[in-house]
Each structure stands twice: as structure tokens, then as C-alpha cells.
Amino acid sequence: MRIRTPYLYPDGDIIDLYLQEKAGQITLTDLGDTLRWLRMQTVTRQKTEKQEALIRDICLTLGIEQYRGMLLLRVKQNEPLASAITRLAQATIRVSDLWFTFRTRAFESIQEEVAEFLLELKIPFTPNEKVRGRSGRTRTVDFHTRHPRQSAFIEVLSTGSRAAANAKVDSIFATWSDINYLKVGQNDIKFVSLFDDTLDIWTADNFQFLEQISDVTYWSRPEQFAELVAPKS
């Protein structure tokens, strides 16, 4: 029996649980949906030992078993069914929230790859540079490169979730808009939006939106990116 709960995964998908009664024993399970969802949201699809340990701790704390990729709860005779459903739902929520640790690790990984690429090109750069916007807010730009022919601000767009893609694009657009005054006059700084397109996360609208205010390039095309930050002529 499928039980549709009022709880949601981080991307808004509804959490469904499943009930089976056999020989007087009631078993609740997610049929593997939670760990499957987690794998689908990540870039590398590989969990670290720390993340595996966190999943084990969550299950131990809430009295949940892991069985063939499923989260499973054997309901005790004196336990109200509603309480058991809530307990298993809590486990699915806490395990799926590990997506945020995956996302942070994936983003840090692409940041490191971009830094290594710039070093190979022998382009001086400053990571995480603080820039004051016209709004008075301080904006943090991922990289500020300084090539003899062209200085550039680079923002890296990387995520393992479609749900987070639009929010990331909106955030970068806001940053570019706030510091747009630096593109004129003697500064002549190029704005580069570098999309990590190793997964099919982004839409054409995402690219077109940022093309209005920056040069859009893709991590799968390193030559194009290199020409933007280190033009040959």
C-alpha cells in the first residue's frame, strides 16, 4: 500500500512510503526512493565515507534499517502507525538533505579545476574577490583574472540539481547587475559566466538570461573559455 505523505524532498518531490503487512508484521519502506533520489541529484554519484557514516547515524538514531538500498522500518506492536510513518519520513528527509553536502563538494571540485586550468595558462588570478556593488552590498566573485590584454571576473555556475539551477542563475545575474559599472571606463573588465555543463542541468533560458549581461562559456569548451580570459590578440 502506497502512503502519500505531506513531506517533500529538497527539490519539492513528494515523499511516498509503502506499507506491507505479512503474518501480523507491518513493515514500512521507501522502496529505495530516497537513496535513488540522492544519487540522481549528485554530479559524481559517489558518496564519501563521511556521508555514508552520516546515513548510518541517521538510521541508527531513528531506528531505521538499510536493506538492499531501501530505508525500512518494522513497526512494533505497541507503536502507533502514524508515529512509525513520521519516523521513517524523518529519516528520508534527513538522508535526502545530504544532497547539500554533495552539492558543496561538487562546487568546490569545479572551483579547484578552474583554478588549476588558470594556473596552467599562467594567468594571474585572485579567488573569491570582494567587490562593492552600486547597491552598497559586497559581492564575492569566484575569480578575478589579470591578463595583459584583458582582465575578467569569472562566476562559476555548478549544481547537481535542476531545482537549484534557476536560483543560481538569478544570483549571478544580480551580482553582474550590481557591479556592472566596472565594465565601463578605464577598468574594462569582462564578465564571464562559466557553466559547468558536465550534466544536463541547464536550460537555453539560463544561458540566454546571462548572455544579456556577460560572456557565457562552458566548461566542456576550455579553448573558448581560455580565449575569453587570455585573448591571443
In this structure, the dihedral spanned by the alpha carbons of residues 16, 19, 20 and 25, taken in order and rounded to 10 degrees, is 140
pLDDT band for position 13 (50/70/90)? Answer: confident
pLDDT band for position 43 (50/70/90)? Answer: very low
Domain range summary for the chain, segments of one domain joined by +: 2-97, 102-229
45 grid coordinates: 554519484
Given this structure, which CATH class describes domain 102-229?
alpha beta
Whether the predicted pLDDT of 38 surpasses 70? yes
pTM recorded for the entire structure: 0.56
Kind and range of the H or E run holding 177: helix 162-178
The tens digit of pLDDT for each residue in 170-223 reads: 999 999 999 998 887 656 799 999 999 877 789 999 999 999 999 999 998 999
Nearest to 107 by CA among 70, 158, 49, 150: 158
